[in-house]
Structure 1
Amino acid sequence: MTEPAPVVTQKPAGFRWELLTVLWLAFFLNQADRQIFSVVLPLIRQDLGLTDAELGLIASALVWTYGLLVPIAGFVGDRFSRRNILGFCLLFWSCATLLTGFCATVLQFILLRGIATGGGEAFYAPSANALLGEKYRESRSFALSIHQTAVYFGIILSGIIAGYIGEQYGWQKAFYLFGGLGILLAVVFFIRIPKDTPVLKTDSQKPLLAEIGETARIVIRKPTVIMLTLGFGCMVFVNVGYLTWMPSFLVDKFGMSLTDAGFSALFYHHLGAFLGVLSGARISDHFAKTNPRSRLVVQALGLLLGAPFIYWISMSQTQTMTYVALFLFGIFRGWYDSNIVASLYEVVSPKIRSSAYGLMLACAFLIGASAPYLLGVLKPTLGLTLGLASLSGVYVLGSLFIGSGAIWFFDKDREPAE
């Protein structure tokens, strides 16, 4: 393995808060840009005459691209300036989002929405989470959870704004707006955030794929990492399936307008997730002081307790009961989210955290990528009600994976305290 570079000089506290703020805004746009398509999906279907299977394929293309590129992003994040990586990937996916507004065919959507947007977004999370993990060592779960809340705000507000803009001015304008905002933020990012020093020196004698293989061999020897990855894959499968089809489900089942469906499908769930991620972080940080295994336990409980409410969402006969189920599903989804990164960091060396997280993301997103396409294929026969209800079983399976890692493998795999 390459040797670690000299320790990076600590920046003042004010810089750390500015960094968190700018990264929060970037992650907000990351998730908003990803969600726009699902919100305006009925308008695209009506305008361009695309089938449910084709629309599901477009959504899956983004997740497949993300899953294939994110391990490379993780290794790049350990070896080059994370500030430069984050700034350029923000600029790239924002340009792709803006250009998606000009799409008129399935192939164009796959290239711009799937490959370009997904490829740009793949380079964000490994570097951003690793950078924040270094700056907030004593309150890592809390800082990472604050960053995670950008997911919920990004998805909720994109549902409201994109739905309204789509209905009033056309679906294309939603892509123009969010893409343009991302380009402006990229400029601010490069101006305000100073360049950092890579954690690892680049080894010019060793090809990137060889280094990926070397790190993969390290983490694969740790069953806890495998269990966390499988659990993450189950969560991603449920999440991308739900996010892609829930607005359409509410339109079809309750005859709601696109704006109301986009808001309701995302607001109640992510309000619960916002509260859940903060409470889950506090709970796990408290108990992890004496028992670091607690981070995995909180995640496993989050998936297990959230599963019944996924079923309830699909089977509820009234909008009110559906919203209650969405909120409670969100609470326990937040418990899981609060420790995605912190749990992994308990069992991998600081030198390869970005790389290991990239591999974990890749496997999880490749597992979960097929959900939108499968639900789209099954929609004409099985229907979205049964399709979405079946996702509850996937949550239970994910809980079993993480619980197994916590019980049987964690003590052996845990890294020494920093």
Structure 2
Amino acid sequence: MLWLVCFLNYSDRQAIFALFPLLRVQFHLSNVQLALIGSSFMWAYAIFGPVAGWLGDRLSRKWLILAGLIFWLFVTTTTILAHQFWQLAVLRSLNGIAEAIYFPAAMSLISSYHDATTRSRAMSLHQSAVYAGTIAGGVVASWLGEHFGWRSNFICFGALGFLLCIILILFLQEPVSDLSPNHDTSTGKTKVPNPSLSKITKEILGAPPVLRLIIAFIGANFVAMIFMVWLPTFLYGKFHMSLAMAGMNATIYLQIASVFGVLTGGVLADSLVTRDGGGRMRTQAFGLLVGMPFLFLAGRTSSFGWLIFGMIGFGFAKGIYESNIWASLHDVVNPQQRATAVGVMNSLGWLGGGFAPIAFAFGAQHFGMGDCLSSTSLIYGCVAGLLLWNAKWHGRDRRFDPD
């Protein structure tokens, strides 16, 4: 059920980027204005993230997830009424708040069902919804936009969201035996810890292993946002594809490869972590190092065949890294603070990633889109080095391991 929520969220995120060529014409927008539409979502998502995480450690995660989904449904369907640039930007910001509510509570819920021996695999399966949703958003949105106009996408998403709300109300449950100390199994209610959001955030950011993971996430997310936002437009312009073909080719190869990568990374990390406390982080670093040459190739080649090869390799490597983003974090934070830690890390990662589309837009004006895409391989190299350092020196604190 959580997979379906994540799938729908990412379908909606990717859809707007696939529709950029249509929005540019209808609203007379520049590249920077288009980037701001994407960034407005990311910044709102980032700003509200810590609050969403704090709530996830205190309230029923089921009903928090449902509240976010209902708010998302309202904002998504309202998007069909937008007729000006500022309206689109505001609605995407509200959409970011709605989706921010979901992720910390969902990650905490998964961790409560899975201990350290299966957590990477469980979270990697959930992460596969990101790639499936991105494919669906890019392909379906492009096709619907080309044939029925850009507003038709949000009518479709609204209908699916309504059905999903009913499913979650009927079937989503908190675990019977919650691994988190915040859950009172005798009453079935979540206990409310005393510390404030600011105190918990300070404690989370004061832990060097957590801080290094956050910095790594910001760097990797910066690269991911560039490809998510601008790859359809890059293919549309450089290879003269139709809108539908650009949307499909920008997502399908990269994201399908990511599904295989994320499942591989989950299995590999669960195996390594039994022998090496930093095994999840080493798995992440391995994925980034593998991805570097493919990133460089994707931006530099003028052959569509080699571009596909580059996107497949990058997607597989990206999946290996992303399979352990949250499992690595949960290895080094107190179970009482899992949702808050996810909210803080997600917030800072998306806040940094929110600048990526704008920075890329300015860079592309001077150096071209291809060279700017290739340069992101340097970011991957730096992030891999940071993760290897973290894996070597932090050591997993076994106080946070579930029994």
For Structure 1 versus Structure 2, the TM-score category normalised by the shorter chain is over 0.9
Cα distance between partner residues in 2 of 1:329 and 1:416: 33
Residue of structure 2 equivalent to 1:368: 353
Residue of structure 2 equivalent to 1:17: none
Residue of structure 2 equivalent to 1:399: 384
1:32 equivalent in alignment to 2:26: no
- Structure 1 stretches lacking a partner, 5+ long: 1-21
Residue of structure 2 equivalent to 1:235: 220
1:202 to partner: Cα distance: 2.6
Residue of structure 2 equivalent to 1:53: 32
Cα distance between partner residues in 2 of 1:142 and 1:194: 20
Go from structure 1 to structure 2 and tell me whether the alpha carbon gap of 1:404 and 1:24 turns closer, same or farther (over 3 Å shift): same
Deviations 1:97-130 (A, max 9, x none): 22222212121011101x1100000011110011
1:89 equivalent in alignment to 2:73: no
1:159 to partner: Cα distance: 1.1
Residue of structure 2 equivalent to 1:19: none
Cα distance between partner residues in 1 of 2:58 and 2:132: 31
Deviations 1:118-156 (A, max 9, x none): 000001111001101111224111111111100010000
Counterpart of 1:201, as a letter, is: K
1:202 equivalent in alignment to 2:192: yes
> Which of 346, 361, 374 is the aligned partner of 2:331?
346
Residue of structure 1 equivalent to 2:247: 262
Residue of structure 1 equivalent to 2:106: 128
> Which of 97, 101, 120 is the aligned partner of 1:141?
120
1:106 equivalent in alignment to 2:85: yes
Counterpart of 1:149, as a letter, is: S
1:335 to partner: Cα distance: 0.8
Residue of structure 2 equivalent to 1:4: none
1:291 to partner: Cα distance: 1.4
> How does 1:1-400 map onto structure 2 within 5 Å?
22-113=1-92, 115-137=93-115, 138-194=117-173, 199=183, 201-202=191-192, 211-400=196-385
Residue of structure 2 equivalent to 1:16: none
Secondary structure of the residue that 1:313 maps to in structure 2? helix
Cα distance between partner residues in 1 of 2:366 and 2:73: 37
TM-score (norm 2): 0.93
Counterpart of 2:57, as a letter, is: D
Residue of structure 1 equivalent to 2:186: none
TM-score (norm 1): 0.90
Secondary structure of the residue that 1:79 maps to in structure 2? coil
Counterpart of 2:270, as a letter, is: D
- Structure 2 stretches lacking a partner, 5+ long: 184-189
Counterpart of 2:38, as a letter, is: A
Counterpart of 1:73, as a letter, is: A
Secondary structure of the residue that 1:123 maps to in structure 2? helix
Secondary structure of the residue that 2:260 maps to in structure 1? helix
1:183 to partner: Cα distance: 2.2
Cα distance between partner residues in 1 of 2:400 and 2:159: 45
| 8 Å Cα contact 1:33/1:179 also seen in 2 | no
Aligned sequence identity (%): 33
Q: What do you get for the CA RMSD once the two structures are aligned?
A: 1.6
Cα distance between partner residues in 2 of 1:35 and 1:399: 26
1:179 to partner: Cα distance: 2.4
Residue of structure 2 equivalent to 1:417: 401
